[in-house]
Amino acid sequence: MFKVIVQRAICNFLEEYFLFSIEYFLIQLVVLCLHHALSLSVAAETPLRSSSLTSGSLGRLLAPRRYNFKDDMEIFSQLLEVQSNTHSFDQLWDGRWWS
């Protein structure tokens, strides 16, 4: 009787382990197939010999290699024209701005 109980327990364990292994294998297979399908679709849309930095809309946004950034600094660094606005905020806080 004890031998039959042990045999059934071993059979039940092996069945559960085998079913778990099959489920795990199927999940891994589905994940692998999805990964492969996604990588193929991305590879089909992106040519191997072109670079996203040199072609397409991004290539037009990049500055040429001989671009002089000093010109932009001279144009946009006119800090003398900027005036402080703190006196207006002080009047607003005191309530004198509307009067």
Residue with tokens 């191997």: 48
Q: What digits encode the pLDDT tens for the residues 12-60?
A: 776 666 666 677 777 777 887 777 776 655 555 555 555 555 555 555 5
Q: What is the mean pLDDT of residues 64-93?
A: 60
pLDDT confidence band for 83 (50 / 70 / 90): low
Distance, CA of 34 to CA of 40 (rounded, Å)? 10
Cα–Cα distances in Å, from 84 out to 11, 18, 62, 96? 84, 76, 35, 18
pLDDT for 35: 74
Q: What digits encode the pLDDT tens for the residues 60-71?
A: 566 566 656 566
